Amino acid sequence: MVAGHSGLGKTSFIRTLFGTLRLRSSKGSLNARSGEVTPDNRPTSPVSSAPSPASGSNHSGTPRQNGIGTKANGPKDSIGYATGPLERTRNPFEAVFEVDEGHEKINLTLVDMPGFVGTASEVDASCDDIITYLEYQFDLTLAEERKVRRNPKATDNQIHACLYFIDNATSASARPGLSDADIRVLKRLSARVNIIPVLARADTLTRAQTRRLKQAINKDAVQNQIQFFQFLSPKLAKKLLTDKNGNLTPSQLKKKRASRMGPGDDEEAAEAALEGEGEEEEEEEEEEESGDDDDDEDDWDSEIVEEKALLQSLMPFTVIAQEEDGTEIRDEETGERVQGREFPWGVLNCWDPKHCDLESLRSALLSSHRAELKELTFRYYYEKYRTEKLLARTKTQYQAQQQQQQQSVKASASSSTTAVNHLRTRDGLPGHAISGPWEE
Ligand SMILES: Nc1nc2c(ncn2[C@@H]2O[C@H](COP(=O)(O)OP(=O)(O)OP(=O)(O)O)[C@@H](O)[C@H]2O)c(=O)[nH]1
């Protein structure tokens, strides 16, 4: 899934990615998966009665029927979406493809969510839509699990990763990093899905701006308890760094780097040295706490660990999308046709690791970390949702029971009062004032 503010290049990203997919030809020479994704043709999106502020018409110009789409789009639609004219996304779009990835057949669904626009409450309403969508997929799994006879061919509809697009406009501001809206949205989304942050339109950033922005975004995430997907556990990251740098801890390394920085980097050097000081104590504390970390990690192949470390170090991933019309551009240096953007001063190749992190992101999503993302979705996010939902139901049932009990206690109390009153009245006891000589 791709989500974030409007106009950051989410649809363009899907279109760029599409350009690299090896589609499998199926019967009738359709190169994308059938629109009927689930075996019993259930809708894959929830139906919402309240249209969000961004509602209007979708890419194909069809008026929006409800807040969220009702079923996955078909193969023709998906290919048309990835290759036709680029338009603003006004309705969630599920592009479904059957692809060959590393000799493996995978059913890939790319969900394009409408970009956020408007006031804080409008952004929050768009976030509600995304949460509803994500939870609906969990509900489909929950419904399947509850069946006496489960369908062995049931499709996994869960969203395994959400690429959250971050605007790079703050790069030049005094306070680069996540906006208040991003923080609010990310806090909610990270409780439901693996979040992979993406720095959009990276061609408009210099190297220094990119570095600063990446650091600021990661720092904001930590300060606001936003959990991004971790390619590498902190314990392993530290171990790797320490091994590589001759037993220096990350903070000592930071200080060492700071001392090597040139005169133009004064500010950054001071920041790094200062950060290093506080971190040393934190590192010692973490060291003690991390005793019960996943020991399997210690057995991992060093190549895998290095790849994980590289991916972790790239977050948030910078991406550059191809030009709107998708025209492949000829790289003058190599003479090859590339997916990219052409400027008067040269050609940007979206898949060149020197230009952006798109290639690493693609490989993490579609091959190296695909299984891990799926597993975490099922074992952590789905389980969490399931537990919350069952607890909420138990609580509601308990409250209803309590209410019922209270009502029946009240009812029996009032009926016994009525009976007593009735008795009293019948026996001439004071249900009403009885006058007599003793009153004097
Ligand atoms: N310079 C530059 N422009 C880009 C890039 N990616 C997309 N664009 C342009 O940004 C504009 C918006 O792109 P979209 O892909 O429609 O953005 P979106 O995030 O899907 O927007 P919504 O549909 O409103 O959510 C288009 O004009 C794109 O050509 C990029 O990497 N660099």
205 and 192 within one domain: yes
Q: Could you tell me if residue 338 is inside a domain? A: yes
Query: What pLDDT, in 10s, does the model give residues 335-365?
Result: 888 899 999 988 899 999 999 999 999 999 9
320 and 294 within one domain: no
327 and 185 within one domain: yes
Is the per-residue pLDDT at 37 higher than 90?
no
90 alpha carbon – ligand 1 mean position (Å): 14
Give the pLDDT score at 15: 93
Give the pLDDT score at 321: 94
Q: Could you tell me if residue 335 is inside a domain? A: yes
Which has the closest alpha carbon to 131: 189, 72, 183? 189
Nearest-CA residue for ligand 1 atom 7 is 9
Q: Could you tell me if residue 362 is inside a domain? A: yes
Q: Could you tell me if residue 408 is inside a domain? A: no
Q: Could you tell me if residue 40 is inside a domain? A: yes
274 and 189 within one domain: no
204 and 140 within one domain: yes
Predicted-complex ipTM score: 0.99
Which residue among 8, 10, 12, 17 is best mutated to probe the pocket of ligand 1, counting the most ligand atoms within 8 A of its Cβ? 12
159 and 200 within one domain: yes
16 alpha carbon – ligand 1 mean position (Å): 11
Within 8 A by CB and 6+ apart from 239, the residues are: none
288 and 148 within one domain: no
Of 391, 419, 435, the residue at which a domain comes to its end is 391
When pLDDT is averaged across residues 227-255 and rounded to a whole number, the result is 69
Nearest-CA residue for ligand 1 atom 6 is 9
9 alpha carbon – ligand 1 mean position (Å): 3
Query: What pLDDT, in 10s, does the model give residues 128-165?
Result: 999 999 999 999 999 888 888 887 777 788 999 999 99
Q: Which atom of ligand 1 is nearest to the CA of 350?
A: 31
Q: Could you tell me if residue 68 is inside a domain? A: yes
Q: How many domains does the chain have?
A: 2
Question: Taking the model in full, what pTM does it have?
Answer: 0.76
Nearest-CA residue for ligand 1 atom 27 is 324
What domain range is 239 assigned to? 232-302
Examine residue 316 and say whether the peptide bond preceding it is cis (omega within 30 degrees of 0): yes
Token match 């949205």: residue?
Answer: 185
Nearest-CA residue for ligand 1 atom 12 is 7
Burial (0-12, 13-18, 19+ Cβ within 10 Å), 166: buried
CA separation for the pair 211, 367 (Å, rounded)? 26
Identify the band that residue 266 occupies on the pLDDT scale cut at 50, 70 and 90.
very low
Which residue among 2, 8, 342 is best mutated to probe the pocket of ligand 1, counting the most ligand atoms within 8 A of its Cβ? 8
Of 391, 406, 423, the residue at which a domain comes to its end is 391
CATH number of the domain that residue 74 is part of:
3.40.50.300
Q: Which atom of ligand 1 is nearest to the CA of 90?
A: 23
13 alpha carbon – ligand 1 mean position (Å): 8
Of 277, 302, 327, the residue at which a domain comes to its end is 302
Q: Could you tell me if residue 310 is inside a domain? A: no
Query: What pLDDT, in 10s, does the model give residues 281-321?
Result: 555 555 555 444 455 666 677 788 888 989 999 999 999 99
Nearest-CA residue for ligand 1 atom 11 is 7
158 and 287 within one domain: no
177 and 192 within one domain: yes
53 and 187 within one domain: yes
324 alpha carbon – ligand 1 mean position (Å): 8
Q: Which atom of ligand 1 is nearest to the CA of 12?
A: 15
28 alpha carbon – ligand 1 mean position (Å): 33
264 and 122 within one domain: no
11 alpha carbon – ligand 1 mean position (Å): 7
Is the per-residue pLDDT at 31 higher than 70?
no
54 and 30 within one domain: yes
Q: Could you tell me if residue 405 is inside a domain? A: no
